[in-house]
Amino acid sequence: MSNRTARIDEIAELMVHIGRSARGEDAGAELTAAQWTGLRFFARANSASRTPSAFASFQATTRGTASQTIKSLEAKGLLARRRSEHDRRSVVFAITQAGREMLCNDPLRHLMAALERLPPEACETLSLSLSQVAADLATLRGCRAFGTCEGCSHYAADGGSKGGYCACVAADLAPDDIGRLCANFDQRHDTLPVPPLKTKRS
């Protein structure tokens, strides 16, 4: 086994371990693991992606299972349904004030606190790297990839403002839209920082 293969194996195992450790905090929590995932998704997704089908793809589950999770969150008053602005025949879901308050008790808060201890540049590199891994994994499995505007080929920043433009939906984006999860995400491959050149020591 090469050093690179061993390192990749180590990283994969570490990612799984971190995921299991973080989800282990769901025990005794107010919501199930699936409900927490749903609440986080609808809190982070953009308006066009807050649909049952998009959530099912994000959670890598069936439409029926995703719908049951959504119904349970709606029954608890944590999500509210409304007609889609993009397609009046379909519905989207928005997180309620009670849902936002529930997220203050998110079991992932300890993981988020650990990530906050990373240097800003390390956090940025990790974010970009994991976004690319998630997109590539979705491609390998033939699934829909999710991501945010900064790493998407459809996105163009507006130099005169903090907003931008999405070529996929042919619409301007408000600053609040930029960091939200999108089901129309198309991974750019020039988002990772270029590593510095190694110079030979004399």
- Asked if the model's pLDDT at residue 200 lies above 50, the reply is no
> What per-residue confidence (pLDDT) applies to 87?
66
Q: 3: buried, middle or exposed (CB in 10 Å: 19+, 13-18, 0-12)?
A: exposed
- The pLDDT-based confidence of 38 (bands split at 50, 70, 90) is very high
pLDDT per residue as tens digits for the range 138-153 = 888 888 788 888 778 8
> What per-residue confidence (pLDDT) applies to 69?
96
Integer Cα distance of 181 and 41 in angstroms: 8
- Asked if the model's pLDDT at residue 183 lies above 90, the reply is no
Q: What is the mean pLDDT of residues 23-39?
A: 77
Integer Cα distance of 172 and 178 in angstroms: 10
Task: Tell me how many degrees the CA angle 115-70-31 measures, rounded to the nearest 5.
Answer: 50
> What per-residue confidence (pLDDT) applies to 8?
92
Integer Cα distance of 76 and 95 in angstroms: 11
Q: Is the CB of residue 8 less than 8 Å from the CB of residue 136?
A: no
- Asked if the model's pLDDT at residue 37 lies above 80, the reply is yes
Task: Spell out the domain ranges in the chain.
Answer: 3-109, 119-177
- The pLDDT-based confidence of 201 (bands split at 50, 70, 90) is very low
For residue 80, what is the enclosing H or E element? strand 79-83
Q: Which residue has the higher pLDDT, 8 or 149?
A: 8
- The pLDDT-based confidence of 119 (bands split at 50, 70, 90) is very high
pTM recorded for the entire structure: 0.74
- Asked if the model's pLDDT at residue 160 lies above 70, the reply is no
User: What is the dotted CATH code of the domain comprising 3-109?
Assistant: 1.10.10.10
Q: What percent of the chain has pLDDT over 70?
A: 87
pLDDT per residue as tens digits for the range 82-107 = 887 766 677 889 999 999 999 998 88
Q: What percent of the chain has pLDDT over 90?
A: 33
- Asked if the model's pLDDT at residue 108 lies above 90, the reply is no
> What per-residue confidence (pLDDT) applies to 27?
56
